[in-house]
Amino acid sequence: MTTAARTLDEQAAALDAEDVLAPVRERFLIPDGLVYLDGNSLGPLPAAVPPVLTDVVHRQWGTDLIRSWNSNDWWQAPLRVGDAVGRLVGAAPGQTVVGDSTSVQLYTALSAAAGLLPGRRLLVTDPGHFPTDRYLAESVARLHGLRVRPVPPGELERCLAAEGDDVCVVSYSPVDYRTGELYDMRALTAATHRAGALSLWDLCHAAGALPVHLDDLGVDFAVGCGYKFLSGGPGAPAFLYAARRHHEDWRTPLNGWTGHADPFGLQPDYTPAPGVARARIGTPPILSLLALKAALTAFEGIDMAQVRAKSLSLTGFFLSCAEEMLTGLGFEAVTPAEPARRASQVSLRHPHAYGLIRSLADQGVVADMRAPDLLRFGVNALYTSHQDVLTAVGRLRRTAANGAYDPSPQQAGTVT
């Protein structure tokens, strides 16, 4: 490395000085002095959100009242916000809808996939997948007479070679939420398609964090949450992507009136709306939805390739700092060193993960942990600096070296 002769302080300063995204941090209201490395659980408050919410509450709801469904276009918000998310994940307009939680969207996507290939009986999911994804796979499999086949991404090819003809859908995340490992979406999607199966991606830890090319890869369905790297606020509604080629044939289970072809006709029978709009269910939570919409303006003028470059710089610098400063203190870096296999997070293993994360929080460094022993540090190119990374690792070093933490194994009750 050309920076090897410089101190970590000098490196951080130099990397931040040449960071073209550095000014974007001003689009977020991050408390002074706080090092926030938990944006992979809950993104911080974008500056654009409070004035929008004030307008939504006082003028749109308070004054315009019911008329806002038309005059402030609440009615189309799930599709407009969907398109705004779509731009960040490589989806052309008209294929993405936002409104319900990731779990509900995933249930819809899994059910739709099961309905499109009714002869195939296997639903492949990652045994390391986020729990909700596994639970919902089991539930959908039960309802549709399928079986869940847990297959790690590294073994997908072997699974497909053996029983690919029977696989209906492969439901994966490109990012391991624990380790921060990034899988090869392109290769896994292509393998899935070669077997004639459908590809469903959970983008919770990818959307807004790195470039995703849904249309280009020919992905069939995708879902993802609005409150991690999109910084849409706590419990921000999630998105669902359905590739245009399925728009004629897919069926959704949650047939709410807003997904009807003629929602105001109040017809006795359900006729699904054309396109992705049939994935609309009930009345969406407008306050949360329009907060997300405002949050997405933080991405204006930014190319996801820039986001990716800076994210890799941040995680790479984190790993360098860890190697230099944490050696001999009981840590193991579990996030791959190879850039192509790193998402926007660094995970370290340590037997006292819980106590260390708690102690860091007391020192103004917010990260989180996953039981039993993983410390997770999420970086977001829009607001994280290399100095943040150095500060975090420095305080972690000091805490671990001094033993200044609670050694109990209790879990942190935080939300991924």
- Of these residues, 19, 133, 202, 220, which one is catalytic? 202
What's the min distance (Å) between Cβ of 302 and a copy of itself? 22
Minimum CB distance to a copy of itself smaller for 168 or for 326: 168
- Of these residues, 228, 280, 293, 395, which one is catalytic? 228
Minimum CB distance to a copy of itself smaller for 101 or for 306: 101
User: From CA 354, how far away is CA 414, in angstroms rounded?
Assistant: 11
What's the min distance (Å) between Cβ of 414 and a copy of itself? 6
Which stretch of DSSP H or E encloses residue 88?
helix 77-88
Hunting for tokens 């997908």 — which residue is that? Answer: 156
The count of other CB atoms within 10 Å of the CB of residue 35 is 23
Active-site residue 310, yes or no?
no
Minimum CB distance to a copy of itself smaller for 276 or for 304: 276
3-class DSSP assignment, residue 247 = coil
**Letter string b/e over residues 249-278, b meaning 16 or more CB atoms within 10 A of that residue's CB:** ebebebebbbbbeeeeeeeeeeebbebbbb
Handedness of CA 289, 290, 294, 296 (dihedral sign): positive
139 burial (CB, 10 Å; 0-12 / 13-18 / 19+) is: middle
Active-site residue 376, yes or no?
yes
- Of these residues, 376, 383, 388, 405, which one is catalytic? 376
Minimum CB distance to a copy of itself smaller for 130 or for 318: 130
What's the min distance (Å) between Cβ of 344 and a copy of itself? 16
User: From CA 348, how far away is CA 376, in angstroms rounded?
Assistant: 7
245 burial (CB, 10 Å; 0-12 / 13-18 / 19+) is: exposed
What's the min distance (Å) between Cβ of 140 and a copy of itself? 8
- Of these residues, 107, 177, 183, 227, which one is catalytic? 227
What's the min distance (Å) between Cβ of 83 and a copy of itself? 19
Minimum CB distance to a copy of itself smaller for 273 or for 319: 273
- Of these residues, 28, 36, 107, 130, which one is catalytic? 130
Question: Are 171 and 123 in contact, with CB atoms under 8 Å apart?
Answer: yes
Active-site residue 202, yes or no?
yes
The residues assigned a catalytic role are 130, 202, 227-228, 376
